[in-house]
Amino acid sequence: MASSSEKWLDAYYDPVASLYTFTQCLTLSDIQADGDWKLIVADLGTGSYDMKLKVYKNTTLMSEHTIIDLPTGVVTFYMDTLTPRTPAIAVASGPYIYVYKNLRPYFKFTLPPLEIHPVEEDLWNQVKDEQVNVHSMREMLETLRQEGAALTVRSLRLLQMDIGNVQNFVNLHKHTPLKKQTVITCLATMKKSVADEDAISCLVLGTENKSIYILDPEAFTVLATMNLPNVPVFLSVNGLFDVDYRIVVSCRNGCVYTLKRGSTDVTRNMIELNSHPVGMERVNKNIYVGCMDETLHCFTSKGKKLWTVRLPAGITTIEAIDYKPKSFTAVLVALNNQEVHIYKEKYLVDIIKMDDIVTGMRFGRFGREDGTLVMSTKRGGLYVKILKRTAKFEEKDMSAGPPASQNVKLNVPKKTKLFVDQTQRERENGVAMHRTFQRDLAQLRLKVMREYVKVLDNSLNPISSDPMEPLKLSAHVQGIGPTFKFTVKLQNTSLSQATTDLLITFDFDDKLYNFHKRLIQVPMLVPGLTYDFDTFVDCLNDKGITDNVKVYVLKQGKSVPVLTGVVSMPVSESIVVV
Amino acid sequence: MGFFDSLAQWLGVKKKEVNVMVVGLDNSGKTTIINHFKSPDAKSHDIVPTVGFSVERFKSKALAFTAFDMSGQGRYRNLWEQYYKECDGIIFVIDSSDKLRMVVAKDELNLLLENPELKNRTIPILFFANKMDARDAVSSVKCSHLLELQAISNKPWFICASNALTGDGLHEGVEWLTDQLKVVLQKKKK
């Protein structure tokens, strides 16, 4: 595996940027129309106060705006046709969308108020006219809540309070009219009528009351409202509002719905996930969903599952790569184990190792560089990596399974006619061939056994099988001829018993050889020791003929030799006459 | 070379010709630098991103330069290596205000140095740390540190801070390059 440093350049890192943000709150855009793309970050501050909208130019913080509530999404969009083409920034926060133009606050859009439960409204009206006690009101609100009615934020706050503070709270708020507002959960953009890069876009927002709103960018009116069975959390939009569009929404109940222009049936092409979604991206026509159960799924736009990849750790966020100069598309998956995995289709093509958990990622153009990956981490760091010009992502690079060399074709020679005929014959007569082989094998074994028995019967082997005479014999021939030295070594291999009355004699062809000693008397053999007995042998032939010589060890009074050794004599040198 | 050519050269009428390549990332100011050396009537007023490359000629006190002004855009950078063989010197322009892409410049420089055509040649490299006037520009010393220029051992190099809009620092750099190229040409003659 090639290390990720061969593919990514570390352009910038600030481990103490103190950014608390997520993928939805990061965006890259050319907000000054000068070709130098800025990084726009909605910083959640401490999580309860100090929320900021930050804009980075290159590596320096260019501007900062305070946001009143927690931001839930940041996008940039073109809202007019004026030149220079400067896009506006939209920040979703609570029930509002704050629009910034040229880095100045421009407009605040408020979501349309919702209908208040009539009983709740009555209660607040009665308490204003002091027709009802605050405590009985509180009890009635509690029963309403338990019945499952959606209450206003003010009533919910009241229910959370200690009994002692309720009176003050009611006195403070009872004169302001009761309003019920929802909260924006996700934000996206959709081109209105032209697909150009800098065409006017609508804002698409998902809200806590299970609805999707599409806003007109010029007048900020609601163009379309769609209802969902659950609260939307991630949006993926493509198409044009005036022509045809498709919004893929993943919801908090673990389902992914597809909304189309003019279609009201959201359950068509519905995808049910096994777990809750933590990120959703659309690449080409496929929907990639990262789930809480450490899996990454891929679905077609029709809702058919293509594949699932199990990851080594929990997913924190996912982001799509669409790098046009090399037409490279992939999905970045940030994991809890401080790694970012890059999947091209279902193949893991690269791993970026970080020193912190990545919580927010955005890939795109930053500054003047196209392939830039901006990451924010759990401890508040900001990292910028640039894709190298020479980087190549090879498919199946690191995926589990057979190694690549297995797929390399061997240079197998062409099949000859002989080979084909042989194969044909083997295929047809397989059974007969096997039987013949088995029979021959059995006969070979039988022959071996017979020979072995014969050897044992005639004591033709150099190690004695007789338990009374445990002896070992070995014989050597030394010299180059015509006279050789013939040495016989005898060892008594028993542990305690000495052997007596042994003789050594030789069986040879007397036309070829002449042994100086034909019979050697063996003394008593002490167990364990090796005894050498030698004699000289003359070779009588100078034609290079050799023969075997047998060595017998005999016991006095026995007709069968105790041991037999066979020595093959070497070829003798001819006699040199000087 | 004919007799009249050598005579003309000896008299200083005709200058020796050298090829230099001007490379660097997009928007670093390569074309603007070349534009500064052109004669006043040949100067262009608006400078647009170069497409592919353009060939410009200008003269310094002793040499006639043919400059290959390469485009720095990512998709044209693979063109650079096609011209390494013919060039006698390299001018590498750095946008010293673009801190984010310093690593990209370093990466491209390393690719250039590792190229087999250039690896073993002692070819002079002149670095212009351009856009010194920009507010967040880094110094030429910091630039050479960021690009790890001290690691270049087999090639003479020189970095000078420049501002291509006013021309500050450009002549200093080209004078150095002229001196280096003269040495190279003399060696070649021998």
> How distant is the Cα of A119 from the closest Cα of chain B, in angstroms?
59
> How distant is the Cα of B126 from the closest Cα of chain A, in angstroms?
23
Checking if the pLDDT of A92 tops 90, the result is: yes
Checking if the pLDDT of A573 tops 50, the result is: yes
Inform me whether the C-beta atom of residue A327 falls under 8 Å from chain B C-beta atoms: no
Report pLDDT for A398. Answer: 52
pLDDT per position as a tens digit, A360-371:
999 999 988 888
d(CA A112, CA B19): 69
Q: Is there a contact between A325 and B75 if contact means CB atoms under 8 Å apart?
A: yes
Mutate which: B103, B110, B114, vs A, most A CBs within 10 A: B103
Checking if the pLDDT of A4 tops 70, the result is: no
Rounded to a whole number of angstroms, the distance between the first and last alpha carbons of chain B is 15
Inform me whether the C-beta atom of residue A325 falls under 8 Å from chain B C-beta atoms: yes
Compare CB distances from B99 to A10, A58, A366 and report the shortest one's residue: A58
Checking if the pLDDT of A178 tops 90, the result is: no
Q: Which of residues 15-74 of A touch B (CB under 8 A)?
A: 35, 58-60
Catalytic residue among B73, B82, B150, B186: B73
State both tokens at A573.
């040198």
pLDDT-derived band at A207, boundaries 50, 70, 90: very high
Compare CB distances from A386 to B77, B103, B111 and report the shortest one's residue: B103
State both tokens at A431.
């059974």
Judge contact between B52 and B30, C-beta under 8 A. Answer: no
Report pLDDT for A396. Answer: 58
pLDDT per position as a tens digit, A268-286:
788 889 899 999 999 888 9
Chain B positions contacting chain A at CB under 8 Å are: 25-27, 74-75, 77-78, 97-104, 106-108, 111, 136
User: What ipTM was predicted for this assembly?
Assistant: 0.86
Least confident of A73-82, A258-267, A323-332, B16-25: A258-267
Rounded to a whole number of angstroms, the distance between the first and last alpha carbons of chain A is 78
Residues tagged in the binding site annotation of B for Mg(2+): 31, 50
Compare CB distances from A368 to B77, B101, B103 and report the shortest one's residue: B101
Checking if the pLDDT of A380 tops 60, the result is: yes
pTM of the model: 0.71
pLDDT per position as a tens digit, A124-175:
888 888 888 888 888 888 888 888 888 888 888 888 888 888 888 888 888 8
> How distant is the Cα of A81 from the closest Cα of chain B, in angstroms?
25
Q: Is there a contact between A367 and B111 if contact means CB atoms under 8 Å apart?
A: no
Q: Is there a contact between A9 and B77 if contact means CB atoms under 8 Å apart?
A: no
Instruction: Give every strand in the sheet of A277-283, ordered side by side.
Output: A277-283, A286-291, A295-300, A305-310
Task: Please report how many Cα atoms fall inside a 13 Å half-sphere around the Cα of residue A123, on the Cβ side.
Answer: 23
Residue A126 vs residues A77, A122, A136, A165: alpha-carbon distances, Å: 46, 6, 11, 19
Inform me whether the C-beta atom of residue A434 falls under 8 Å from chain B C-beta atoms: no
Mutate which: B101, B146, B147, vs A, most A CBs within 10 A: B101
Residues tagged in the binding site annotation of B: 24-31, 50, 72, 130-133
Provide CB contacts within 8 A for A304, sequence distance 6+: none
Mean pLDDT (whole number) for A321-343: 91
State both tokens at A69.
């509530």
Task: Please report how many Cα atoms fall inside a 13 Å half-sphere around the Cα of residue A547, on the Cβ side.
Answer: 18
Task: Please report how many Cα atoms fall inside a 13 Å half-sphere around the Cα of residue A214, on the Cβ side.
Answer: 21
d(CA B47, CA B38): 13
Report pLDDT for A2. Answer: 42
Transcribe B98-132 into DSSP letters: --TTHHHHHHHHHHHHHSHHHHT----EEEEEE-T
Checking if the pLDDT of A465 tops 70, the result is: no
Average pLDDT, chain A: 87
d(CA A487, CA A476): 5
Neighboring chain B residues of A389 at a CB cutoff of 8 Å: 74, 77-78, 104, 107-108
Q: Is there a contact between A369 and B100 if contact means CB atoms under 8 Å apart?
A: yes
| Preceding amide of A84 cis, omega within 30 | yes
Checking if the pLDDT of B3 tops 80, the result is: no
Nearest Cα to Cα of residue A97 among A243, A234, A213, A10: A213
**Looking at chain A, how many residues does it have?**
578
Checking if the pLDDT of A397 tops 60, the result is: no
> How distant is the Cα of A195 from the closest Cα of chain B, in angstroms?
24
pLDDT-derived band at B94, boundaries 50, 70, 90: very high
> 3-state DSSP call for residue A49?
coil
Mean pLDDT (whole number) for A496-521: 86
Transcribe A330-395 into DSSP letters: EEEEEETTSEEEEEETTEEEEEEE-SS-EEEEEEEEEBTEEEEEEEEETTS-EEEEEE-TT----T
Mean pLDDT (whole number) for A286-298: 92
Active site annotation includes B73: yes
Q: Which of residues 380-399 of A touch B (CB under 8 A)?
A: 384, 386, 388-390
d(CA A520, CA A530): 16
Q: Is there a contact between A386 and B104 if contact means CB atoms under 8 Å apart?
A: yes
d(CA A176, CA A43): 31
Report pLDDT for A5. Answer: 63
pLDDT per position as a tens digit, B116-173:
988 888 899 999 999 999 888 999 999 999 999 999 888 999 999 999 889 888 999 9
Checking if the pLDDT of B39 tops 60, the result is: yes
Nearest Cα to Cα of residue A316 among A344, A336, A342, A293: A336
Beta strands B89-95 and B16-24 are parallel
